[in-house]
Structure formats: C-alpha cells, structure tokens
Structure 1
C-alpha cells in the first residue's frame, strides 16, 4: 500500500491545534488516536491541479515516460476511476458499488454499461457472520486539516518549502521561503511532548511567528472541537447496484492481485517485476482467468484488489496507458458513487514482517495498479497526486483502530478511528456526493439490496461524524 509519512508544517500545526483540545487523545506506536467514531466526513473534496500520467514502460531501458494530465471539478481527482484494495488479515463478506439510478442524477455511459452487466439473479452469502455492534452514541470530533498556516505582515499566505519528517517526538527542521525568496530555517522542537504545548523557535528574520502560525491553524480548524452537524446536501432519487460480491459469487467485479506471470495471466520482467494478474479464489495465488474470491481469510500482509467487470479497450481514454500483457479492466468512476463493504479483520501474526497484522482497505486511481503500484515512482502517477484514499487502515501491528486519510493534491485526515472488527464484522458505506463535494465513510446496519432508496442514502449522509475538511 502506498503511504507517506510526510506532512507540511501547516498540517502538523493544525493537528496539534486539534490535539490540544482533545484530552482523550492518546499517542501509540508513533501515531495519535482520539475518539472512536462511526462516521468520517471529508468536505471540500476536489481541486484543480495536474499529475504525471504514465504513457509508456520500456522493458529494454527499464524506464517510464509520462505527460502532465490536468484535472478539475467536483471531487477531482477522486472522481476518476478507482480500484479497491485490501490487505490481510481480512475476510470480505460483501462488497458492492452503486450509482444514481436513471432519472435520479446523470449517469455516465460507463455507469450504464456497468448497470447492464448486472446478473438478474445474484447469490447471497450463506455464511451468517456475527455482526459488529453498530454505534450511534459514540462521541465524534471534527478535524480540519489545511496545508498553509504561515502569513506575512500583509496577511498573505506563505507556503513552507521542503518536507517535514515525522518521527517519534516530531522534532523537525524546515526551510521556508518566507521573505524576499530567501530561505530561512524554522525549527520546531518536541512539537507534541504534550497535547497542550508547542515549543517553537522561529528565525527572527521571518515575519511569521509561532503565535501567528498557531492562530492560523486554529482558525482554519475552527470546527475542530465540535461535532459535524450532518448537514451534507441531500441526494434525490434511488441508487442502483452496478457491482456486487459475496463469497463465491460476483457480478461486474474482477478480483486481481500481484502475481503476474505466475499462473497464466499478467507478466513478469526484471525491470518492473510482477504485474497485476487475475486472482484465484484464495485471493493469494494467480489465475489464468477471473475467479470469485471464496469464503477465505486472506492472511496477514497479503493483498488483493477489485476492478469492474469491463475490460479496457484499445485506445481507451478513460483507462489511459496500461502495462503491456496485463489483464486491464476499468475501475469505478464518476462524481457520484457509493461503495459498500462488510468485512472482518481477525488478528493474524503469520504474515510478512513489514505489514504483519496490519489490515487495510483503500482506494487508488485505477491507473496506478495498471502500471506499477510498487516500484519506480516514475512508473506510477501516485507520487504526483492522482489519488489515494485510505478508508480503513491499521497503522501499527495488532492495533484495533482503523484510520482514514486522503493522499493527493489535497492531503488530510483525522485522528478519530473506527473500531477494528476482530471478532464480528463491520458494515460500511462510502458515499461520494458531488452535490456538496463531500465523501462520507459511514458505519451502517442496513442491508445492501439491489437498490438503495433515497431515504436510506440520505439517512447515511445525515450521520454526524469526525470531519476532515481538505485544503
């Protein structure tokens, strides 16, 4: 899974502002955790920017080429096609994707084709899993993360230059172009030695002060101590299921992993390693053709992913470039879409040392796995911000706290967390709502039928939760 431990100074100060108000927060395994929640709401999602879109992968020179691709609009770039990724230990009980039904909102041609591929009869899971207790009385916290907190004497924003490497005590040094283009040094020592103190030393040549920075961070996080009102814009009309999975049965879902060249699909090369491939029913092995995942617990550290059932065609602009020889399938695109999940994450220490007992569920721009998910950064658009959204991620081995975060041109998240479903299952919906540029990750109890009613979706949108407003 892609992940960056790099934050801009503004992000850190904004988080600190939140932590100073949240005495229930704890520091564990190098990460802060605040309140358990049953909803995380991202607001102000979408920006205008560009990323480096891979255009070729040369097996002779082991080099990749790319060109700039601009994006803008509601929820961009997360409105582009997304693939859905899972890391064990995890048992996936249900998965589905919904789009607005005809007459409710506009439906793209891709969505129409996906809807047409739904089977008339879909098998339901026969295994009755214990349910994760759904909570509605959990305290929630609003967290707003912004990327710019410095201002000069004229009140103009100043953006720090360089990366802040976050370690156990968050001792950092940043070069910032603050005055007349001259680089000065800002040192923050023991930033989070407590929740209420920030020791800051600023070069006297700068026009920014610790007080101004902290004040700006607090102002931009004005909602950080209150609960979200659940006032997201309502949607009109029902939502039709376009993809669905239960163990052993799929409709418009294609399971893949990273076993290219081992079992009849995908490729391997000394330059780029194993490509993606069809996954066998165990989720771990490769396969020559698409198979449904079985009723299995994928072990610790192992990964699989889900694309739609629609293959990418030649010169398919919505897919973009794909590595030669791979099974290339469309992801799930559009401004308005809902992903639903039911899964358990039992403890398992038998996997790889790097990701042992650290399950996760996340979304990637589907171009990333179709080129190179892990490896040379120039062979993927990830580093340049084409889009990742961590939905449920364990950050340290054995933790029971699932964190969410967005990684793209807008970077942000929250220290609130979902309870990991170690024994039972967690049912959740992820709602992309272009009406107000929000993404809601909500723990739910309702069934996932062929159709989600307007009332059901709006009830999910109304659930108060921890909110991360992207810059």
Structure 2
C-alpha cells in the first residue's frame, strides 16, 4: 500500500512502467534488470553532509549515543576509510588495494569536450544533458539520467523524469526525496549473450547526486613497490596476505572479539575457513564460502588512540583501520558458484560491498542507533545478487546520494570475474570495471587510463 503521494509522485509512478517497457527492461523477483554491462560509472559523487557517528555503547543500559559528524569533498563519504565485505556463495582468488604514487596522470580530470571527442572517434553515442541522443549499431552507449526518487509505504523507491524512468531497491526511510544523476556504460552487441538475449537497448537508473569541494581522510596502506604510478598497498591470494586482516561477526566465540546480551557478537578475527572465529589474524584459505556466510577485510593497521579515522569502536574488539583516501583502486578476482545447500537466509545470493569501516567496528547488524549507516555514512554495493539464484549482479550506493543502476554484470558461476573499482576524486567518479590485466605490485598510468577509458568518464555535471 502506497503512502499518500503528491500529483507529481503519482505521475512518476504511472510513467515508470511505461518507461521500462520502452527501455526493454525485464521485471524479475521484485527487481528490474535492463542491459548486461562490463563497466559502470558513478559520476558527481560527493557531498557536504552530517551523519550520526556513534560515540558510546553502554552495556549497562543497552543504549548507544551518537553525535553529529560532518563530511565533505569529492567522493565523500567514500573518501573515508572503507571495509570490504563478502557474502557466499563466493570463492575469492585475488584481492588488492592500490594507491597513487604522487600525482598520478590517470587522475587528471577529463573535460566534457575531451569526452565528446573520444566518443565521436569511437562511433559511440554522444550524451546531451537534456535528452538521450542515440546512434544505431553501437557497441557501447553512455547514458545520463536526472530523476527524482520517491519512497512508498513498503520502503520501495520509485524514480521518474521526463526522459527516462526507473525503479530502484529500497533505501532508508529518511531519504524521501533525492535528486540523482547517473552515468553508466552498458554493453549491447549484435549477438548478445544468453543472459542479455532479450535486450536491444540500454536503460539506466539513478546513481549519484550533489557535489562538494575539499577532500579528506588519509589512506591506510603499507609500504610497497614504487616503480609504477600506483603502488599495491594490500594484497591477498588464498593462504597468503599482505596488509589485509580477515574478520567476521563471530566475536566472543573463538578467542577474539566480544559477545553481550545487549549487542550480540562483535567482529572477530576470521579463521582460514572464513566462517569460524579465530584468536588471531589468519589468511583466508582456498575455500568457497557457503550461502549466507560472510567475511570482511580491513587493512593490517590497528586502530589506536591516535587514529582519528577509526573514531569510536566497541570495547574488546580487534579494531583495524579500513582503506582510506579519496583516490584508490580495489581489485578483485572471484567466482560465485550456485549453492542451495547453505543457510536459507540469503541463500544463493552472493555479494561484494563496501562499508564505512566505522559500521562493523560498532554494530553491523542490529540497533540502528549503534551504527552510522542509517544516517548516511556510506555503503556501496559493488556486485550483489538481489534474488536467490539470479545471474545478474547489481550495483547501488546507499548514502545521502542514494542511487544505482538496473544494468548488471554477469555472475561468474563458472570461471572467475576480474574487476577493478577506481575512486577518482579529480572528476568525482567511481568506476566499476571488468578487466583482464594482472594485478602486479604496481600499476602504470597507461593501464589505469585504459580502464578509465573503457568505463567512459562523465561530462561535468551541473
């Protein structure tokens, strides 16, 4: 049942279905899916806002206190330290984090004229800020949509505008209306793959909104190779890690972390199986995590009283810093095989996502007042299955600029998917890209430029 809506909202609801039909999107399991893609770009990411930061967790009263915490700058709040989270079924074969050495050429901001020139040279679609301009027989299409998000009584969001209309996943109820903008690349070919055989055009949804100025937060990384333009500060392959700490939510069960009747299990060191707790840090083994199980990765740097970036964290936990800085690259290689034998909760719904690292250090699941999540400190879903058994991986952002896309990556049930996630503060973009290159100790600007070019950079947004 919808809440009472304005005439504008009702018009948005009515136009939504028509727009999706015109866009050749399909509706499955409560979600819309449009075109298969190998690259998504969130543009105009970053805002000035205040979220509620946890300042204390009182075991005697089972209550948490919060205080205003202000963020600003390009990519805020994702320029703060982030933890990396995984849900099974998943096998992680590689993970790494890179930071720029000095001023990397790959982070030089492209002008709108350069983008249009590049698109014209490749015979690809050129995007107007006012409307879509499509060319026939193109391999890649760049889409920009401005829309308004409305929230219905069940928590579902509906977005609408005069040129394109989309429906997105649920968002916190505090976000009742958000203006958002998306730029993404979607792949449509003359001989589409089975996963996208019914798709003939690109459709999109909302992604990122208002911008702000200064950048904050420092990176948490160990010393590494400096021969390239980007140094690998953290790296993992099964059985071996450098500057990575694997954790899960098994606190108090196996020698690390705590449990209480108020707040339940805290985070703990993860054992090599990824599922059990451990007394000390261990490298994840060569394992496939079953459905419903989760683990997370922090850096190898412990929090201390001198680490302002860590903020408050629950007493008695193994507290480690996340991966900070406005400019950074996460790389992944993973498989997401089908699995119906695990937990019925989130069964066969694998996911990889980022959280503000303050969230798991207080309370990832539970009382909303014991986490900054609800008030917008930041979550970014990189690759998420929304319905059991689906083969379509969706991306979405949850913060003050809540938005996402209904275009999807193909789930790697057989074989693996290699991907890079590039945080580029100079033009306020976040790129999620399928890649083929090796994840060496350093990356050259040429490689990163190729990745950015493949994803396509947005024109400057108003």
TM range (shorter): 0.7 to 0.9
Larger radius of gyration: 1
Instruction: Tell me the residue number matched to 1:375.
Output: 366
Whether 2:60 is the aligned partner of 1:60: answer yes
Match of 2:239 in 1: 248
Contact 1:432–1:438, Cα closer than 8 Å, also in 2? yes
C-alpha displacement at 1:351, in angstroms?
Answer: 1.8
Residues 1:453 and 2:444 aligned together: yes
What 5-or-longer segments of structure 1 have no aligned partner?
1-7, 106-136, 149-159, 173-187, 199-212, 229-236
| 2:127 equivalent in structure 1 | none
CA contact (8 A) 1:414 1:467 kept: no
Shift of 1:223: 9.1
**SS of the counterpart of 1:416?**
strand
**Aligned-pair CA distance for 1:146:** 3.9
Instruction: State the partner residue of 2:154.
Output: 165
Q: Which position in structure 2 is the counterpart of 1:27?
A: 27
Q: Distance in 1 between matches of 2:13 and 2:457?
A: 18
For residue 405 of structure 1, report the CA deviation from its aligned partner.
Answer: 0.3
**Aligned ranges for residues 193-204 of structure 1 at < 5 Å?**
none
Q: What's the counterpart of residue 338 of structure 1?
A: 329
Preserved CA contact (<8 Å) 1:412 1:468: no
Q: Quick check: 332-341 or 17-26, which moved more?
A: 17-26
Q: Is the 8 A contact 1:144 1:223 kept in 2?
A: no
Is residue 47 from structure 1 mapped to residue 47 from structure 2 by the alignment?
yes
Pairwise CA distance, 1:141 = 5.7
User: For each residue in 1:313-354, what CA deviation from the matched residue of structure 2 results, as whole angstroms up to 9, or x when unmatched?
Assistant: 125211000000000000000010000000000000112222
The equivalent of 1:287 in structure 2 is 278
8 A contact 1:80–1:334 mirrored in 2: yes
**Aligned to 2:375, what secondary structure does the other structure show?**
coil
Query: Which runs of 4 or more aligned residues in structure 1 lie more than 2 Å from their structure 2 counterparts after TM superposition?
Result: 8-24, 102-105, 137-148, 162-167, 195-198, 219-228, 464-471
1:118-147 deviation per Cα after TM superposition (whole angstroms, max 9, x unaligned): xxxxxxxxxxxxxxxxxxx96556253544
- Asked if 1 retains the 8 angstrom alpha-carbon contact of 2:81 and 2:322, the reply is yes
TM-superposed CA distance for 1:197, in Å, is 12
Correspondence list, 1:36-435, <5 A: 36-102=36-102, 104=104, 139-140=140-141, 142=143, 144=145, 146-147=147-148, 164-165=153-154, 238-435=229-426
Q: How many residues align?
A: 376
3-state SS of 2:235 partner? strand
1:69 is displaced (CA, Å) by 0.3
> Following the alignment from structure 2 to structure 1, what is the Cα–Cα distance between the partners of residues 326 and 18?
30
Q: Which stretches in structure 2 are left out of the alignment for 5+ residues?
A: 1-7, 106-137, 168-176, 186-200, 205-227
**Against the structure 1 CA distance between its residues 222 and 410, is the aligned structure 2 distance closer, same or farther, given a 3 Å change threshold?**
closer
Report deviation, 1:386: 0.1
Check whether the contact 2:51–2:375 (CA below 8 A) recurs between aligned residues.
yes
Residue matched to 1:134: none
Give SS of 2:373's match: coil
Report deviation, 1:60. Answer: 0.5
Q: Judge conservation of contact 2:432–2:455 (CA < 8 Å) in 1.
A: no
**Residue 311 to residue 336, structure 1, CA distance change in 2 (3 Å):** same
Distance change in 2, residues 1:93/1:222 (3 Å): closer
Contact 1:341 1:429 in 2 (8 A): yes
In the alignment, is the contact (CA less than 8 A) between 2:431 and 2:455 conserved in 1? no
TM (normalized to structure 2)? 0.74
Contact 2:41 2:184 in 1 (8 A): no
Alignment match, 2:108: none
Deviations 1:437-457 (A, max 9, x none): 000000000000001100000
Q: Give the Å deviation of 1:164.
A: 4.8
Are the structure 2 counterparts of residues 93 and 22 from structure 1 closer, same or farther at C-alpha, using a change threshold of 3 Å? farther
**Would the alpha carbon gap of residues 18 and 427 (structure 1) be closer, same or farther in structure 2, given more than 3 Å must change?**
farther
Q: Is the 8 A contact 2:23 2:203 kept in 1?
A: no
d(CA) in 2 for partners of 1:73 and 1:442?
24
